[in-house]
Amino acid sequence: MPTPPTAGSAPRAPRPSRRSVLAAMAAAVPAAGLPVLSGRASAAPAAGALPGGGDLGPNVLVFDPATPNIQGTLDEIFKRQESAQFGEGRFALLFKPGTYCGLNAQIGFYTSIAGLGLSPGDTTFHGDVTVDAGWFNGNATQNFWRSAENLTLHPVNGTNRWAVAQAAPFRRMHIKGGLNLAPDGYGWASGGYIADSRIDGSVAPYSQQQWYTRDSSVGGWNNAVWNMVFSGVEGAPAQSFPDPPYTTLDTTPVSREKPFLYLDGADYKVFLPEKRTNARGTTWGSGTPRGESLPLGQFYVAKPGVDAATLNAALSQGLNLLLTPGIYHLDRPVEVRRPNTVVLGLGYPTLVPDNGATAMKVADVGGVRLAGFLIDAGPVNSATLLEVGPEGASADHAANPTTVQDVFIRIGGAGPGKATTSMVINSNHTLIDHTWVWRADHGDGVGWETNRADYGVRVNGDDVLATGLFVEHFNKYDVEWRGERGRTVFFQNEKAYDAPNQAAIQNGDIKGYAAYKIADGVTAHEGWGLGSYCYYNVDPTIRQDHGFQAPAKPGVKLHHLLVVSLGGKGQYEHVINSIGAPTSGTSTVPSTVVSYP
């Protein structure tokens, strides 16, 4: 994503488009000889039943303070994953409670690092967890698909560097110092997401063009480029959009933190944080977090190579799913039918429907938690990739919503892929908490028709809340919202770079499909901090009528909107409907609307 230079940053060479420079590919990598995490299995299952619990496989590595050569192991994993943007390697690095000194854990693609305590303070590094962009010449805009969770850091020089782009969550982290979100040299950067974290010092985003921070505490926030959004953040800057472009909500309307694996004595369990309303600050700052725990024995521990029939058999047996790192090829949907089912991934497990199936379907039941995995479209077109609730779902789930957290969807990039609609939310009250739904603009299998994907996210359910919604490059609507009383806190979008000409995106008498369309019949909807960018590099003469389209209804309210033409590659005529000044020239200056209507 092109980003304008920020004041005080070093001079930079012009940034090439994502399509012109590709990251190196990496093959699947065995992890033989590295530490392996095992969990205590449940009691022996009935004859013919699948067991719960058990070993987590070779690509989940567990460390304790006495583990020899931890740094060497971390360096080896990073060497394999640093530039493996579309490779097959997947790793989870887990640290038992204790204190670790002198470590610098550099985190590459498809790598997750996490502490195994119930709170971040249980696992402490006197060292760093680092993401930088040396592999891409100081450009951090492709530092996707990695995560850090549940650790306390004492950074060696007082500031930890986490220079990431999309799909790189930073959750339940305590930084006893500052946090730098830019790469070394202050090159391009395009992120990002922080939740349930405490940064004692200041956060310095520098060149980050947008960022969303939820239910956290910061010692300060130093600057903004285009769109910085905060909800429920102690110490957040005051609301001041568009200059500087801070959108600040005192609380988050509804939130429920992501499930996580932890150690209870010698036993591995999964903690399920409770739902909060009007949330502010971390869940763990005042003692033990509130929620419930499930023993590992209540999970079917899936390994790469297992088929959808086996996953469905485990679910029908009453087990939850723990997906260990790797790639899972599916010939039919994974069917989640039981209320309160947990599907939790470790180390970016990736579901690939090979034959045009939907990767996962969730029934219209309450309390399902989907977290921590990637869905990769297969070469045969899928009508949908993820469905939460069937068409016509109508049950009330306000007391116990389904959550979709750190679930990422990709069409193309790792190879040919197609999907008509990527994510469909039919169940009422669903919480979408951090997703990146991406039709690839670079990599393998990329082209206007090659990785055809018309719609990114479609919301049919009522009272759905999205916190941290990243959706990019779809052939038609990126987000289409049909349900009532929907809410979005932070939206980031780029229109498809590769539209061949104006006719290819013509939408009746409208030039281009809106990035975020609220259906004409909707009477109530609200959003805060919403941005859409265009970079029509194939045909820079393309005009986009608007980034946002909404009915003129008293209950439809949008706050802090912006559209940006990246380097003059295409232009917007308006921000929303026929409101807002057009973008122009090559200056990459946003056009903004503070409030709609």
> Which residues are identified as catalytic?
494
Specify the amino acid at residue 111. T
Which residues lie closer than 8 Å to 66 by C-beta, 6 or more apart? none
Burial annotation 348-372 (CB, 10 A radius, 16+ → b, else e): bbbbbbeeebbbbbbbbbbbbbbbb
Tokens at 61, concatenated: 């590595």
CA 297, CA 277: separation in Å to the nearest integer? 31
Rounded CA-CA distance 227/239 in Å is 12
Nearest to 147 by CA among 180, 173, 185: 173
Cα–Cα dist 211/224, whole Å = 9
Secondary structure E strands in 473-512? 479-481, 486-494, 506-507, 510-511
Quickly tell me which residue has 């034959």 as its tokens: 355
In 3D, which of 360, 367, 410, 420 has the Cα closest to residue 390?
A: 360
Q: Do strands 111-115 and 327-330 pair parallel, antiparallel, or not at all (unpaired)? A: unpaired
Q: How would DSSP label each residue in 1-56?
A: ---PPPTTPPP-PPPPPGGGS-PPP------TTS---B----SPPPTTPPPPB-B-
CA distance 488 to 494: 17
Angle at 305 between CA 300 and CA 310, to 5 degrees: 45
Residue in the structure block whose two tokens are 């439809």? 556
Q: Which of 413, 264, 294 has the alpha carbon at shortest distance from 350?
A: 413
By CB atoms closer than 10 A (0-12, 13-18, 19+), residue 101 is exposed
- Integer-rounded Cα Rg, in Å, for the chain is 22
Alpha carbon distance 130, 75 (integer Å): 12
CA distance 95 to 325: 16
Q: How far apart are CA 434 and CA 428, in angstroms?
A: 18
Report cis status (omega within 30 of 0) of the bond before 35.
no
Q: Could you write out the three-class secondary structure of 417-468?
A: CCEEEEEEECCCCCEEEEEEEEECCCCECCCCCCCCCCEEEEECCCCCEEEE
CA atoms of 163 and 131, how far apart (whole Å): 5
| Count of CA atoms in the C-beta half-sphere (13 A) of 47 | 0
Number of H helices, E strands in the chain: 2, 47
* Dihedral pair phi/psi, residue 71, rounded to 5°: -60, -40
Q: How many angstroms separate the CA atoms of 390 and 476, rounded? A: 23
* Distance (Å) of CA 406 to CA 171, 233, 278, 452, 497: 10, 20, 21, 23, 25
